[in-house]
Structure 1
Amino acid sequence: MRGNIQERGAHARTFVILSALLMLQLGTLIAPAHACGCGAMVPDPNARIAVGRETSVVDWDGSTEQIVMRFTVTSDTPRAAWIMPVPGRATVELADGALFDELVRIAAPEHRERHYFWPRGGDWPFDDVDGAGAPPPDAAAGGGVGVVGRERLGDFDVARLTATDPAALGDWLDENGFEMPAGLDEDLRPYVERGWEYVAVRLAPREKGAVLTGTLNPLRLRFASDELVYPMRLSRRAETSQSLGLFVLAEHRMEPRSAIGGSEPEVTYAGKVTSAEGELGRLTGGKERFLTVLDQEFPDPARIDGDHELRATAEDTPFRRVVWEDELLTLGGVPAWVLTLGSATAAAALWAVRARRRRRIVPPAPIHVPPPAA
């Protein structure tokens, strides 16, 4: 694909390459943080963890909501924890990562070709300039906290909790190996006041000495809800910019009621999907859904002021991104501009030859000589 960078010449391309290399080097020093509706993922003290990618699938049929979450992490710690507030009693189980592969294929952008006439950098006769190529989401525990259940799911230690006191909830989490960020009590207070419940997850690999690295098994949360909500409030504890990506499956195309302190959410795909097979079919029960894919940035997480509440849009307008691939226009493998210039040159030469052949030399007018006088 010939991109716009190639049009700027060798110097511009060199600058872009050097800038990209610099950013890559910086990226190895500063680990990116990605939003997770559960709030900050917190490792053991003095340990480091980077969530390279966090992707969530949300399915809602009008009364029941399911959230499937998958993390790709790089760390030097064997443990980390997070908490997800939910509006009702939740069940938790391991999910299959194939679900994400299916949705990525469905929402993939459409690739279209468009042609340009005149040669650019990288095309003959400018192919001596090397262009930059394109880079190929109830047992009472006391103290106001109830333990609904606790189970081991793969590399996850999962606790399902109720709470009437945010401070008591924070204490229980700390005492049971779920270390949470300082100040979490205040962020949990709105959920406690509304009677929500909680799913606390501690990531702890079974293998002795193992650390959290790579793509973890996804978890599926299922709970009753009369509205589609994606908890985000706890992400305000993050110290670096956050990025949110959501696959939303519902009866209609959905949109957030507000930006909740982030940039305007961007729709990258919208369309109806029907799948009676595969992981998508198992998630939806084989019923038709409208898939809306959303991306959003949170440059200043401290500004996050609530959870994402999603509502149906006025119309179920489909949308798919289009990626244009620029190609030099050719005819029979020959650049069209070469053929055009060649044809024009030949036509001009033929015209010149014919013009010469048709040119007539006009003889001089005869000189009239009067007859001699008689």
Structure 2
Amino acid sequence: MKLWRVIAGVLAAGFVAAGVTPAWACACGGYLPDGQSKARVYGENALVQYSGGTEQITLSMAVRGTSKKAAWIMPVPAAAKVELGDDELFSRLERLTRPKRVVKKTYWPFRDLGIMGSGRGDSAGAPTAPGAGVNVKQQMLLGPFAVTRLGGSSGTAVTDWLRTNGYVVPATLAANLTPYLTEKWEIVAVKLAPRSDGESLSGSTPPLRLTFASDRIVYPMRLSKGATTTQTVTVYVAAEHRVDATKVPYAGVQPELLFAGPVEDEALAKPAAFLTAYTATYREPSRITDDFTFERAANDDAYQRVVYVTQNDGLWSTIAVLFGGLLLLGAGAAVLARVLVKRAAR
């Protein structure tokens, strides 16, 4: 077994203790290692599947450093079923949506001189006991995690409960939770519960899957406004049709379309097998004010990025090309000479 890759699971909130600055991580919530570590979350991948009023979010985060304690918080609009996901999911999605590779020929000695095209790749595309004001709905052990589903009357009530139950709570969490609780969303809190001493969190986290009812396609982002470092999020949306991002976390950062098209993958059951992928980087997470929401696009036009790669064809190919060019020039010169002779003879 890959030494508890599962331990690298879905996690949340910020650094405290010993004056460590909170490093809010994913678009969905926050990441909080123990106060002795310097682990940071710098990005995440999420698959959002939607069909018939049911949404499923599968999430994995990218972590630098190691931590022996961690926790994660995820707001969802309705009661959620929580499960561990497929470790290989995002590797497959990356392969399905990667750019098409187009080779451009170049000939020695013209390589990288700008005569036959640049050698650089250019991208283009065609189109535990609850406190006051907290309702503990469910508690469970899931792999190495202790998972709790919470409802709450206020952000302060929920953060008090989290603090009482061993979570490290950054100062901004209560205020950032308040909009979700006002809208009657549920909070899923996940805490590392290792089965043996010495287990720690590092690397890319294995996915956690949450399934819940929703009348729209939404990916929660508002908690990320507490982040202090640049965050990159890639969201894959699997639905019956191509989708547009109709709301974005911060209007100053428009997500980049990576891919759109029908795909075949064991995790994407029909009819929700049309995949649309977006990515966005937030260098100033404090400007985030909203969640991602997606709606059906005007059409199902496919889109795939293209990367052009220059390939040198070698010395003999170059000689052949030069020789052919010389023959063409000679033939052209002969034709021109005959024309001039005829004109001079008139």
Name the TM tier (shorter chain).
Answer: 0.7 to 0.9
- Is the deviation greater in 170-179 or in 83-92? 170-179
The 3-state SS of whatever aligns with 2:140 is strand
Structure with more relative contact order (C-alpha pairs < 8 Å, separation 6 or more): 2
Alpha-carbon displacement from aligned partner over 1:199-239 (angstroms, at most 9, x marks no partner): 11123443312221123321100011011111000000001
Q: Which residue of 2 aligns with 1:191?
A: 180
Q: 1:108 — aligned with what?
A: 98
Tell me how far apart the structure 1 counterparts of residues 109 and 195 of structure 2 sit (CA, whole Å).
58
After superposing the two structures, state which structure 1 stretch, 46-55 or 303-312, moved more: 46-55
Match of 1:339 in 2: 323
Contact 1:34-1:243 at 8 Å conserved across structures: no
More off after superposition, 99-108 vs 291-300: 99-108
Confirm whether residue 316 of structure 1 aligns to residue 300 of structure 2: yes
1:145-294 to structure 2, matched below 5 A, reads 145-261=134-250, 262-275=252-265, 278=266, 280-281=267-268, 284=269, 286-294=270-278
Quote the Cα distance in structure 2 between the aligned partners of 1:271 and 1:341.
43
Letter aligned with residue 309 of structure 1? T
**Letter paired with 1:311:** E
> How many angstroms does 1:98 deviate by?
2.1
**CA–CA separation in structure 2 for the residues paired with 1:49 and 1:121:** 43
The structural deviation recorded for 1:298 is: 1.1
Contact conserved, 1:93 with 1:220, CA < 8 A, in 2?
yes
Taking the TM superposition and a 5 Å limit, the aligned residue runs for 1:37-48 are 37-48=27-38
Taking the aligned partners of 2:83 and 2:290, their CA distance within structure 1 comes to 26
Aligned to 1:326: 310
- Cα contact 2:111–2:119 (8 A) shared by 1: no
Structure 1 CA distance, aligned partners of 2:279 and 2:43?
A: 13
Structure whose CA Rg is larger: 1
SS of the equivalent of 1:213 reads strand
- 1:287 deviates by 3.3
Q: 1:328, CA displacement in angstroms?
A: 3.9
Relative to its length, the structure with more helix (as a share) is: 1
Match of 2:3 in 1: none
Cα distance, 1:328–1:209 mapped onto 2, change above 3 Å: closer
Whole-Å separation in 2 of the counterparts to 1:162 and 1:88: 10
Amino acid at match of 2:105: H
Conservation of the 8 A alpha-carbon contact between 2:69 and 2:192: yes
Tell me if 1:75 matches 2:65.
Answer: yes
Greater alpha carbon shift after TM alignment, 80-89 vs 212-221: 212-221
Kept after mapping to 1: 8 A contact 2:24/2:226: no
- TM-score by length of structure 1 reads 0.73
Q: 1:93 to 1:99 in 2, by over 3 A?
A: same
Q: Determine if contact 2:136/2:148 at 8 Å carries over to the other structure.
A: yes
Q: Separation in 1 of the partners of 2:65 and 2:315? A: 53
Q: Deviations over 1:113-171 (max 9, x none)?
A: 22346733579xxxxxxx9998xxxx972411111112222232211111112211001
Q: Which moved more, 1:108-117 or 1:259-268?
A: 108-117
Cα deviation digits, residues 18-76 of structure 1 (max 9, x gap): xxxxxxxxxxxxxxx78512222122224211225421111011401101111232334
TM-score (normalised: structure 2): 0.78
Q: Distance in 2 between matches of 1:53 and 1:167?
A: 27
Please list every run of 5 or more consecutive structure 1 residues that lacks an aligned counterpart in the other structure.
1-32, 124-130, 356-374
Once the 2 structures are TM-superposed, how far is the Cα of residue 344 of structure 1 from its aligned partner?
6.1
Could you tell me how far 1:330 is from its partner in structure 2? 6.7
Task: Name the counterpart of 1:367.
Answer: none
Matched with 1:297 is: 281
The CA distance in 2 between the partners of 1:147 and 1:108, in whole Å, is: 42
Runs of 5+ consecutive residues of structure 2 not aligned to the other structure = 1-22, 122-127, 339-346
Question: Structure 2 CA distance, aligned partners of 1:321 and 1:69?
Answer: 24
Taking a change above 3 Å as real, the CA distance of residues 171 and 254 of structure 1, as seen in their structure-2 partners, is: same
What per-residue deviation string (whole Å, max 9, x for no partner) do you get for residues 286-333 of structure 1?
Answer: 434210000112121111011111111111111001111122467974
Q: In the alignment, is the contact (CA less than 8 A) between 1:329 and 1:335 conserved in 2?
A: no
Report the Cα distance in structure 2 between the residues aligned to 1:295 and 1:34, rounded to whole angstroms: 18
Report the aligned-residue RMSD: 3.2
In 1, Cα distance between equivalents of 2:274 and 2:38: 39
1:87 correspondence with 2:74 = no
Q: Distance in 2 between matches of 1:64 and 1:150?
A: 22
Cα pair 1:118 1:337 within 8 Å, conserved? no
Alignment CA distance shift 1:77-1:101 (3 Å): closer
Would the aligned equivalents of 2:256 and 2:279 in 1 still touch at CA under 8 Å?
yes
Q: CA deviation at 1:268?
A: 0.5
TM-superposition CA deviations, 1:250-274 (whole Å, max 9, x none): 1221122233225111101000124
Amino acid at match of 1:184: L
Q: Which residue of 1 aligns with 2:13?
A: none
The superposition leaves residues 64-119 of structure 1 with CA deviations (integer Å, 9 ceiling, x where unpaired) of 11011112323342012121110000010111122222222221211112234673
| Aligned partner of residue 209 in structure 1, secondary structure | coil
